Amino acid sequence: LAELALRSAFENFMMQTSLQGLAGLQVSRLIFGEFSDSKRLQDFERGFLNGLCQVQMEEFVFIYFGKFKDDTDTLFNCIGNVSTIRLVGLGLQQMAQVPVWSKVKHLECKKCHFDEVPAKKLSLFKELRVLRITKNKGLKNFEEEFEGLSNLEVMDLSENRLTFSRCCSTQFQDCSNLKHLNLSFNSNIRLTGDFTNVKNLLYLDLQHTTLFGPGS
What was the pLDDT predicted at 95? 87
- Residue 193 and residue 137 share a domain: yes
In this structure, is residue 20 part of a structural domain?
Answer: yes
Q: 3-class DSSP state for residue 181?
A: strand
Choosing from 84, 100, 125, the residue where a domain stops is: 84
- Mean pLDDT for the stretch of residues 171-184: 95
Residues 75 and 146 in one domain: no
Higher pLDDT, 100 or 141: 141
**184 occurs within a structural domain:** yes
Per residue in 40-99, pLDDT tens?
556 676 777 888 999 999 999 999 877 666 656 778 888 888 999 999 988 888 888 888
Domain assignment present for residue 32? The answer is: yes
Q: Which domain holds residue 14?
A: 1-84
**CB neighbour burial string for 71-110, b if at least 16 within 10 angstroms, e if fewer:** ebebbbbbbbebebbbbbbbebbbbbebbeebebbbbbbb
Q: What is the pLDDT of residue 37?
A: 67
Please state, rounded to an integer, the average pLDDT across all residues of the chain.
Answer: 88
Tens digits of residue pLDDT in 90-136: 888 888 888 888 899 999 999 998 999 999 999 999 999 999 999 99
Average pLDDT over residues 156-185: 94
Query: In this structure, is residue 98 part of a structural domain?
Result: no
CA atoms within 13 A on the CB side of 154: 11
For 17, list phi and psi in degrees, rounded to 5: -65, -40
Residue 110 to residues 11, 125, 202, Cα–Cα distance (Å): 25, 18, 24
Least confident of 8-17, 83-92, 169-178: 8-17
- The confidence score (pLDDT) of residue 51 equals 87
Domain count, the chain: 2
Residue 187 has pLDDT above 90, yes or no: yes
- In sequence order, which residues have a C-beta less than 8 Å from that of residue 81 and are 6 or more positions away? 101, 102, 103
Query: Does 152 map to a domain?
Result: yes
What is the CATH classification number for the domain harbouring 189?
A: 3.80.10.10
User: Which residue, 53, 52, 62, is CA-closest to 87?
Assistant: 62
**Of 68, 84, 100, which residue constitutes the final position of a domain?**
84
Both 120 and 211 in one domain: the answer is yes
Residues 118 and 194 in one domain: yes
